[in-house]
Amino acid sequence: MDDKLYGSRDKRGQWSPHKRPAREPLFVWPAQPRKFLVWMFGFPGYLWPWNALLIGISVVAWVYLTPTTDTMRELSIGWVAAILLRNAALALLVYGGLHMLLYIQRRQDTNFKYNSKWPDTDNSVFLFRSQTAENVFWTMCSGVPVWTAYEVLAWWMYSNGYTMQVDITQHSIYFVGLLFITPAWLKLQFYMVHRLIHVGPLYHVIHKVHHNNVNPGPWSGLSMHTFEHILYFSGVLFFFLVPSHPMNVMFCLMIQALIPALGHLGFDKIVSEGGKHLDSDGYYHYLHHRYFEVNYGDTLIPFDEWFGTAHDGSQEADEAMYKRTKAKNFSRGGSKV
């Protein structure tokens, strides 16, 4: 499968797809019901493949890999450690698996890779002078523990009746509705947190750790300062405030914990030997890592279009970005305040 059929690479080694990122039909006017339904239930789309896969992982994790509510009424090292180990194993499987496939074995070389260069292996910007080593460190030593802490808090509160739990058999439509709006809620929460930590002081103290990854790979997804992890995973607190089922919490946390591997994959497509492929949908966010002051959100809720910070990879978007940057006196990574 030749990436030249789907995009082009410039003299600097930057590959961009012919198909530019565009807003999803959720916020298109006039409304397009047929297009919306195809996007919602079609493949690829809102539900398939990634959200459906994460729902499946959430079911398995809740039913088979989570202690009983009776056990979780009392905080103890045993069940907390079990959840920590389960989450660490999931992170190693997803992040490590994608890294092994694309960056160690290099199954498709630089085919569909946005940046033709590979991660830095001797750069003083990174801990241990290695981009991958630093990314693994922040993911496993900060990201996974913070993810686990939120999950442990949720299960302890559910088990003790401190939050309102929904009975799926009696409120199945409400339960499914919460599942469907969860990805959209997380896009909203991510945008708000992301804009906050791009403000000058917060950027340089906190968010710069993540943005050192100008050429991101899978492990870059959760490579963040611990304080950013705390803010990032706080989206799950929504389910502490509304009636919900533990599966809603699990799905929310799985999205936040695992989807960043795709968003920072560094490749537009994962290609199999038979020529079949899966889209990563990572180009929009890759442009954020490349240019810093664009694409703070996602195409699901087009905040960047509404606030004038969208970039689709085109020359026209480049020109608009440079004009905006000059006019507003942006500093690298955040506006001066």
What pLDDT was estimated at residue 329? 61
Domain boundaries of the chain, sorted by first residue: 45-328
Scored b (16 or more CB within 10 A) or e, 292-308 reads bbbbbbbbbbbbbeeee
Extended beta strands in 175-307, E state: 269-271, 277-279
What pLDDT was estimated at residue 273? 83
CB 295 within 8 A of CB 307: no
3-state secondary structure at position 1: coil
pLDDT tens digit at each of 337 positions of the chain = 899 999 999 999 999 999 999 999 999 999 999 999 999 999 999 999 999 999 999 999 999 999 999 999 999 999 999 999 999 999 999 999 999 999 999 999 999 999 999 999 999 999 999 999 999 999 999 999 999 999 999 999 999 999 999 999 999 999 999 999 999 999 999 999 999 999 989 999 999 999 999 999 999 999 999 999 999 999 999 999 999 999 999 999 999 999 999 999 999 999 998 889 999 999 999 999 999 999 999 999 999 999 999 999 999 999 999 988 888 764 444 444 3
- Measure the CA–CA gap between 296 and 337, rounded to whole angstroms: 18
User: What is the CB-side half-sphere exposure of residue 139 using CA atoms within 13 A?
Assistant: 28
3-state SS track over 52-118:
HHHHHHHHHHHHHCCCCCCHHHCCCHHHHHHHHHHHHHHHHHHHHHHHHHHHHCCCCCCCCECECCC
- Measure the CA–CA gap between 126 and 308, rounded to whole angstroms: 32
For the four alpha carbons of 94, 98, 100 and 101, in that order, the dihedral sign comes to positive
Distances (CA, A) of 138 to 84, 120, 128, 221: 15, 16, 12, 10
